[in-house]
Amino acid sequence: PDDAAARAARARQDRLTKPPGSLGVLEDLSVRLAALAGACPPPAPAPVAVAVFAADHGVHAQGVTPWPQEVTTQMVANMRAGGAVVNAFARQVGAHVRTVDVGVAGTLAPGDDLTAVKVRPGTADMTAGPAMTRAEAQTAVEAGIRIATGLVADGYRLLVTGDMGIANTTASAALVAVFTGADPAEVTGRGTGIDDATLAHKVDVVRRALARHTPDPADPLGVLSAVGGLEHAALAGYVLGAAAARVPVVLDGVIAGSAALVAAALAPDAVAACVAGHRSAEPGHAAALRALDLRPLIDLDLRLGEGTGALLAVPLVQAAARTLTEVATFDSAAVSERG
Amino acid sequence: PDDAAARAARARQDRLTKPPGSLGVLEDLSVRLAALAGACPPPAPAPVAVAVFAADHGVHAQGVTPWPQEVTTQMVANMRAGGAVVNAFARQVGAHVRTVDVGVAGTLAPGDDLTAVKVRPGTADMTAGPAMTRAEAQTAVEAGIRIATGLVADGYRLLVTGDMGIANTTASAALVAVFTGADPAEVTGRGTGIDDATLAHKVDVVRRALARHTPDPADPLGVLSAVGGLEHAALAGYVLGAAAARVPVVLDGVIAGSAALVAAALAPDAVAACVAGHRSAEPGHAAALRALDLRPLIDLDLRLGEGTGALLAVPLVQAAARTLTEVATFDSAAVSERG
């Protein structure tokens, strides 16, 4: 982050025709955007792309969710047809949807509307062994970096995280527990809406996986290999790619939050590019945001994933940037200041 | 509200390709929009207009704010030139800005870009007598109704409240105290950002005004006459006009919240048309939203007014409606349901 640009943004906010500080969190966000870009005003965070990283999870076999694994494949088809909530919300905010197969178990029809970078057809069951090899984790991270870099090369100036993967909140809970030190019971949630018995079982599954692997948070690729998901790995890379390009990336829910913890462990400065789009109903998400020191923009009990919560935050990010470019100052508008 | 449309919307939400309930507050909002319209899906809440009701306040003479009264007039000019934050945020969400002089103390240049319905050049000092006559309060309410009705006739299908008036949080605090029964100290805030001493004085001003008039919450026009503002009266009418047309109206901060309390006292069903755009930093706003039983969509420590917080909620309202029209069902997309 660029301190001079941040100071210039803060000073400009204080000169705009409004009471100083009256835009609250959006003023802070505008300062962060300026710092990231190294310019005040920062470039407009548009056009917007959301990359939906889809993958399956071997831990599904442990019965952590009532949803069949095939739903991942079916929902990718739904997204490609434009029928998922992520598509509707992307149309609302004018975002391009990039669907990415980084590890779906099923076979997907090829096409220009699918970025096929399948590392493996779903992870292995983390309670029985590593979810993936270290090399596979690295390959998935690199795929995410390349996709972010490619979107920036295509002209996108605001990236949004998306994800699809039945059972992926289990991997997220494990990642959050590793990187925050929290007990699995504190950071494992109901995902799509499981009952008390399934939640207790899910906590036990996470606990057993962590006991088996004792992942070291100082070795992020090792953590991904042990208990991660392919979409988590790719999302960590996506965050790194956005940060390297100094393009802001809006994080969706607990999948993105746990992936951002991986990115932060790999490169702490990457957090400067992250905007917390929302806070989901998953307890692990709140823990991840606290660890990242990010304040969510939206808090509406969403727990859908796909990138939906982050997309809803896009107009807020753009509005924050817009204040620095479009709003008159006291001088320019000849408005009196307070006595 | 139409119960059949509400039930149809809830049933449809449960058939969309997402875990039931996973869109949280937005599902409830989509149900409210269907109930208001009496149709599922409800009509798209677009195009959007924000009416900014500007007026001045005699209580300014009591020193409740460090900002000079002339700022109201200057900011109306700034809005007409497109330089205020409300203009920037309106451009962000594609909203038309209608600037309305319902009681500015200064003289404004006439023009097509100003709706001139000045009832009087600012209220009188509520600590010395009634803020306005009962007839003036009624005239301002009717102006608000007409403006809402006119915007709907012009094709707008989502109305947003806006306001501009130096010292108007003092009148808001008085209104909230009357309609919620709260003590002035609980619902009087720092407005544009006053210091502790001025806040204590402001609480005392509200307390003296209420002691002088002992307004009866069962007589909303009497309350407006005693301690209201002309923009509060017009906004109450604007809410009534939107509700009568069954068009949703997004409320901004404490000015709109206190005006909605007036509208609810005049016609309780009007609340069905109200969407709480955000929760401002003003304590009286939270109290008003509790009394109206409305959950705010955005909560970012905003305290600017003008309609800015409500405008930021517009994409959320539109996204909620969009789910009912654009998202595939499990059947239509051939996606498996949970076991």
pLDDT in tens, B34-56: 999 999 999 999 999 999 999 99
Residues of chain B contacting A26 with CB distance shorter than 8 Å: 300, 302
- Looking at residue A175, its pLDDT comes to 98
Whether residue A77 lies within 8 A of chain B, CB to CB, comes out as yes
Task: Tell me which residue in B24, B87, B312 faces A301 most closely, judged by beta carbons.
Answer: B24
- Please indicate whether residue B326 is annotated as part of the active site: no
Interface of B with A in 48-67 (CB under 8 A): 65-67
- Looking at residue B335, its pLDDT comes to 94
Q: With an 8 Å Cβ cutoff, are B338 and A70 in contact?
A: no
Q: Which of A224, A268, A266, A249 is nearest to A307 (CA)?
A: A249
Whether residue A83 lies within 8 A of chain B, CB to CB, comes out as yes
- Looking at residue B193, its pLDDT comes to 87
- Looking at residue A79, its pLDDT comes to 98
- Looking at residue B184, its pLDDT comes to 98
Q: With an 8 Å Cβ cutoff, are A326 and B91 in contact?
A: yes
Interface of B with A in 252-291 (CB under 8 A): 281
Nearest residue on chain B to A77, alpha-carbon basis = B333
Q: With an 8 Å Cβ cutoff, are B26 and A92 in contact?
A: no
Whether residue B75 lies within 8 A of chain A, CB to CB, comes out as yes
Task: Tell me which residue in B26, B70, B281 faces A24 most closely, judged by beta carbons.
Answer: B281
Q: With an 8 Å Cβ cutoff, are B193 and A92 in contact?
A: no
- Looking at residue A169, its pLDDT comes to 97
Average pLDDT, chain A: 97
Interface of B with A in 112-171 (CB under 8 A): none
Task: Tell me which residue in A17, A71, A93 faces B335 most closely, judged by beta carbons.
Answer: A71
The DSSP element (H or E) to which A147 belongs, if any, is helix A134-153
Task: Tell me which residue in A84, A315, A326 faces B315 most closely, judged by beta carbons.
Answer: A315
Residues of chain A contacting B81 with CB distance shorter than 8 Å: 328, 333
Query: Who contacts B249 (Cβ-Cβ below 8 Å, separation ≥6)?
Result: B148, B158, B159, B160, B161, B238, B239, B242, B243, B273, B274, B275
Question: Model confidence over B190-234: pLDDT tens digits?
Answer: 988 899 999 999 999 999 999 999 999 999 999 999 999 999 999
Cα dihedral B204, B208, B214, B216, rounded to 10, equals -50
ipTM attached to this prediction: 0.97
Whether residue A196 lies within 8 A of chain B, CB to CB, comes out as no
- Looking at residue A339, its pLDDT comes to 79
Task: Tell me which residue in B87, B193, B326 faces A88 most closely, judged by beta carbons.
Answer: B326
Q: Which of B217, B191, B216 is nearest to B202 (CA)?
A: B191
Q: With an 8 Å Cβ cutoff, are A17 and B75 in contact?
A: yes
Q: With an 8 Å Cβ cutoff, are B297 and A302 in contact?
A: no
Q: With an 8 Å Cβ cutoff, are A70 and B336 in contact?
A: yes
- Looking at residue B72, its pLDDT comes to 98
Q: With an 8 Å Cβ cutoff, are B26 and A318 in contact?
A: no
Overall size of chain B counted in residues: 339
Task: Tell me which residue in A67, A77, A327 faces B83 most closely, judged by beta carbons.
Answer: A327
Q: Which of A27, A306, A326, A337 is catalytic?
A: A306
Count of A-B CB contacts under 8 Å: 190
Whether residue A227 lies within 8 A of chain B, CB to CB, comes out as no
- Looking at residue B338, its pLDDT comes to 85
Q: Which residues of chain B have pLDDT under 70?
A: none
Q: With an 8 Å Cβ cutoff, are B335 and A75 in contact?
A: yes
- Looking at residue A136, its pLDDT comes to 98
Q: With an 8 Å Cβ cutoff, are B88 and A322 in contact?
A: yes
> Average pLDDT per run of 10 along chain A, which is 339 residues long?
93 97 97 98 98 98 96 98 98 98 97 97 98 98 98 98 98 98 97 93 98 98 98 98 98 98 98 97 96 98 97 98 97 90
The 3-class secondary structure across chain B, one letter per residue, is CCHHHHHHHHHHHHHECCCCCCCHHHHHHHHHHHHHHCCCCCCCCCCEEEEEEEECCHHHHHCCCCCCCHHHHHHHHHHHCCCCHHHHHHHHHCEEEEEEEEECCCCCCCCCCEEECCCCCCCCCCCCCCCCCHHHHHHHHHHHHHHHHHHHHCCCCEEEEEEECCCHHHHHHHHHHHHHCCCHHHHCCCCCCCCHHHHHHHHHHHHHHHHHHCCCCCCHHHHHHHHCCHHHHHHHHHHHHHHHCCCCEEECCHHHHHHHHHHHHHCHHHHHHEEECECCCCHHHHHHHHHHCCCCCECCCCCCCCCHHHHHHHHHHHHHHHHHHHCCEHHHHCCCCCC
3-state secondary structure of A177: helix
